[in-house]
Structure 1
Amino acid sequence: MTNQTKAMALGFMAVFFWSTVATAFSLSLSQQSPAQLLLIASAASLVFLVSLILYKKQFSELTHHVLSSWKTSLIFGAINPFVYYLVVLEAYKLLPAQEAQAINYTWAIMLSFMAVPILKQRLVFFDLIAAISGYFGVLIIATNGRPFSLEFGNAYGVFLALVSTIIWASYWLLNTRDKRPNLIGLTLNFTFAFPLILIYWWLTEDSIQWSSKGLLCGLYIGLFEMGLTFVLWNNALKLTSKATKVANLIFLAPILSIFWLSQFTDETLKLSTLVGLACILIGLGIQNIAKVRKQN
């Protein structure tokens, strides 16, 4: 296998696992609260990341960065996974998973707008077209196919889903200035976030109920949403000769996600979700074509 073939294979594996997360969110949140799910998932991810650090014999480097960059680790950990996942999981709790996951994919469009004040980048015409297409898709989803009625099925859930895109885009923009090695930085983020998650869970949970289904889903999310996929995706980007080829695989994730939801949850797929998701993907496609042209 060539490096490019390996890169595409690893990239597809990461996208495959990401596409199953909405289903895992839906199944898990039917059993437990967002705070409890985040506690289980973040613990699983932290164990995986620390194990990987030990396997790579980078523990001494990890301890060095604990002392030298604890403030950065605390800030980044507070943003992601702590605040981001609490918001996005609450959105999944309030909305059908098919709607929440579709809206969540507009984070890349939000990223281009937030890059203007943070990175001093300029918007181009294609960014505006992408935004119009993407957010019109959100409107179709939020109004159950009646975008001009402005009657939202669950306005607060849609609001949280959109807020999650702002938090995620902010995290990645700030991450461009992070000097820590990728794996070290992610591990430290989870290390410093875990006590915050544990305290929040302890203070907000009135009754604690553990179920085997919720626990297994939480462990799955911790491994495949927050842990292993990072390694697969990062290695894919390292091996590829052209990052856009791997990045384009991400367009498969929402399509696969819709399929898994239809097979493993009780949700009935809505035509409005499919149409709205198509608008979002068209917007992302337009934005991606513009980036490729700019690079060339």
Structure 2
Amino acid sequence: MGGNRHPKNQSRAYMYAVLAVVFWSTAASAFKLTLAHTAPLQILFVATLTSCVALAGVLAIQGRFRLLKQTSGRELLYSAAMGLLNPFMYYLVLFEAYSLLPAQVAQPLNFTWPLMLVILSVPLLRQPISPWSIGTMLISFAGVYLISSQGRPFDMRFADPLGVSLALGSSVIWALFWIYNVRDGRNEVVKLFLSFSFALLFASVAMVMTSGFGALNFYGSAGGVYIGLFEMGFTFVFWLKAMQYAESTDRISNMIYITPFLALVLIGIVLGEQIHLTTVGGLVLIVAGIVLQKFITPAGAGAGIEADGR
């Protein structure tokens, strides 16, 4: 990855990690505010374009554009497939979920991707799953139910089944992306740049085939630029830097669990949503299950948060 040349500096690692956590915590509010002005596909196009420019700048500063020339045809095809998964499919599904659900519901449900990672690791990575592991997942899925009830847990139903399905579906897509991305040993920023470049191509074709570029507006585009910079582009680089500088990656990776709780605070302040007790309780259960899972999952399946920060 090229990051091994960084001297270890825990203070600098914390600085980058805090930046990443703060910016990722703003994402849910940014999604809802932007969706009030434009559609998911338009947001995806602007955000992906912005992220491509940002990542190109990072590659230029790092002097790693030469690595793009070393990319083989097979690696380009792999990047195209990865770009189809993330950001194209992942963010389209996630934005649709946010368009249907309150942010306080969509955001915690999307955070279930480490659970999906463990489930998918059974068939895809041949990882065993123990009864204790199943028990910790049941704790998290109890949290999913509480959050999905939107403050009415005794109704025994999801308030918006389609929105909940999309939010959980986005976590499945992210888990798939992580499993296949971790097998690719290329530089992380190069991989991100190429996958986002292909996603930009896919989004452009989708725009031409549907609403066209005339549907873009100032407020939607401004939100897309923010999302492209601080949910996608720079923030991933901040997290990678944090892990590269870290003397203890466990201490840094554990900071990611602050993100959904800080996001709830911002959702209440910025969006004015009344945060339900079921949302807080459900999020506590989801995170508790993930944390317990982290201590019992084999290293190959359980390092997702350390690697990607999401």
Q: Distance in 2 between matches of 1:203 and 1:235?
A: 38
Correspondence for 2:272 among 266, 270, 273: 266
* Aligned match of 1:233: 239
1:242 aligns with 2:257: no
* Aligned match of 2:262: 256
Correspondence for 2:109 among 103, 109, 112: 103
TM-score (norm 1): 0.93
Matched ranges for 1:163-242 at <5 A: 163-205=169-211, 208-242=214-248
Quote the offset at 1:129 in angstroms: 2.3
When residues 215 and 207 of structure 1 are mapped into structure 2, their CA distance, relative to the original with a 3 A threshold, is closer
Correspondence for 2:41 among 35, 39, 54: 35
When residues 212 and 293 of structure 1 are mapped into structure 2, their CA distance, relative to the original with a 3 A threshold, is closer
* Aligned match of 2:167: 161
Structure 1 residues 196-240: Cα deviation after superposition (integer angstroms, max 9, x where no partner): 011112222279443332222111110011111111111111111
Q: Secondary structure at 2:155's aligned position in 1?
A: coil
Whether the aligned pair in 2 keeps the contact of 1:19 and 1:256 (CA below 8 Å) is yes
- Residue type matched to 2:105 in 1? E
1:131 aligns with 2:137: yes
Whether the aligned pair in 1 keeps the contact of 2:8 and 2:246 (CA below 8 Å) is no
Tell me how large the CA RMSD over aligned residues is.
2.2
Quote the offset at 1:254 in angstroms: 0.5
1:80 aligns with 2:83: no
1:48 aligns with 2:48: no
Q: Distance in 2 between matches of 1:220 and 1:100?
A: 19
Structure 1 residues 142-186: Cα deviation after superposition (integer angstroms, max 9, x where no partner): 122444533221100000111111110010011121132111111
When residues 206 and 267 of structure 1 are mapped into structure 2, their CA distance, relative to the original with a 3 A threshold, is farther
Q: Secondary structure at 2:24's aligned position in 1?
A: helix
Q: Secondary structure at 1:144's aligned position in 2?
A: coil
Q: Secondary structure at 2:63's aligned position in 1?
A: coil
Q: Distance in 2 between matches of 1:200 and 1:207?
A: 10
Identity of aligned residues (%): 36
1:144 aligns with 2:156: no
Q: Distance in 1 between matches of 2:162 and 2:246?
A: 41
Whether the aligned pair in 1 keeps the contact of 2:42 and 2:215 (CA below 8 Å) is no
Counting matched residue pairs gives 295
Q: Secondary structure at 1:128's aligned position in 2?
A: helix
Q: Secondary structure at 1:26's aligned position in 2?
A: helix
1:62 aligns with 2:68: yes
Whether the aligned pair in 1 keeps the contact of 2:88 and 2:199 (CA below 8 Å) is yes
Q: Which moved more, 1:142-151 or 1:107-116?
A: 142-151
Whether the aligned pair in 2 keeps the contact of 1:109 and 1:127 (CA below 8 Å) is no
Q: Secondary structure at 1:290's aligned position in 2?
A: coil
When residues 198 and 66 of structure 1 are mapped into structure 2, their CA distance, relative to the original with a 3 A threshold, is farther
